Amino acid sequence: MEWDEYGLPVWFSVWFRQDIVAAGRLPLFAFLVGLLAAFVGIRVSVRLIRAGARWWPGNVRLGGLHVHHAVFGLVAMVAAGIAGLAVPDGMPGWRAAPALLFGVGTGLVLDEFALILHLEDVYWTERGRTSVDAVFAAVALSGMVLIGLRPLGLHGSARGGPGLVSGVTVSLVLAVVTLVKGKIWTGLVGIFCPPLLVAGALRLSRPQAPWARWRYGARHPYKQHRAQLRELRLRVPVIAAKVRVQEALAGRHDLPDPRAGEAPGLRQGAVADLRLGAATAPGPGAAVDPRLGAATAPGPGAAVDPRLGAATAPGPGAATDPRLGAATDPKPGTATDPKPGAATDPRPGAAPAGSGHVRSAAFGFTSRTGFSPSSRFAPTSDRASPPVT
């Protein structure tokens, strides 16, 4: 590898002169460098503080007040903005200095984005991961602009026209639909690569996104179920990999939520699927599907299907089929409430035979024994419970 007079690789020097300086992107490059430097530096600092390193200065305090580093970031952004407005347009080299300071301030502010969003000190809790996501998004968008990508197909053309206006309008609509479906990264990257917007807008929504709440659920339960299965199969592994990268760079967000009695990142009483990050707030005694995070609020003594999380509210003395989770209210003399000398089914919780009905725990309606929309996940049985209304 060849090196130039500054000790840099020749290929980097050529790329920097041609694609950065000559293209007028030096201020943007300085901004990105400042953003990355500030984020890495402050994360090293807070991890040393959390580890209790005695040689490290620690937090900044004025009397008894802890001054968060977002305050210094805001001051740096204001100073950089004023300096950038004061520098003449024909001096890109001088404009790079305020851009560098602005990037440093942006990194400090975005590192505490979760605190600003929630107005609570959630830095090391599960909700604090939002700050790392915000920094990743800012770095990704700045990097794509730096390498020459233009949003919404605007490739530096000064000519307008109906074609350009219609193309930008369609791209914006697709981007909004994609974001409403909960596909944040697809929407952000799709701004620079419009085919991703088409795929994101046409495919299923994420199960907890606003689009799913508006258009799936009770109106289209099959789509909701498909979205949940796709979330488990495709997105959960991606989230797990992202969390590992975040923890390697930014530390573990494992402290409890500052609100008393809460799990990290959830409202009081909420139940979460730790793989999906979806939270629900069921009532007392509610049951939760450990795979999908769906919660129900059954009555006292309700039984739960451990695979689908569906709950029913049977009467007193009801029994549960451990395979389907269906509950029955047996008559005297049945297998679950026998009279003296009555025969019983040796299987625990067996329900009376002969009903010929199976309740679909996934979709909430009853069908004759045989195929039901949830039969792929809950096999039917001639000993299943009668329908529960």
**Tell me, what's the pLDDT at 259?**
67
Question: What is the pLDDT, as a whole number, of residue 289?
Answer: 47
- Distance between alpha carbon 333 and the CA centroid of its chain, in Å? 51
So what's the pLDDT on residue 24?
Answer: 86
> Is residue 326 within 8 Å of 384, Cβ to Cβ?
yes
Instruction: Indicate the SS3 state at residue 183.
Output: coil
**Residue ranges of the chain whose pLDDT lies below 70:** 153-161, 258-389
The candidate with the shortest Cα–Cα distance to 345, out of 322, 368, 367, 324, is 322
Model pTM? 0.61
The residue to which tokens 């179920």 are assigned? 225
| Distance, CA of 182 to CA of 231 (rounded, Å) | 11
C-beta of residue 223 within 8 angstroms of C-beta of residue 216 = yes
As beta bridge partners, residue 61 has 66
Contact 314, 337 (CB under 8 A): no
The string of DSSP codes covering 277-329 is TEEE---TT-EE-TTT--EE---TT-EE-TTT--EE---TT-EE-TTT--EE-
pLDDT of residue 155: 55
Count of beta carbons in the 10 Å neighbourhood of residue 157: 10
Nearest C-alpha neighbor of 85 from the set 106, 102, 69: 102
Q: Report the Cα–Cα distance between both ends of the chain, in Å, rounded.
A: 75
Per-residue pLDDT at 159: 55
What would the DSSP string read from start to end of 43-80?
HHHHHHHHHT-TTS---EEETTEEE-HHHHHHHHHHHH
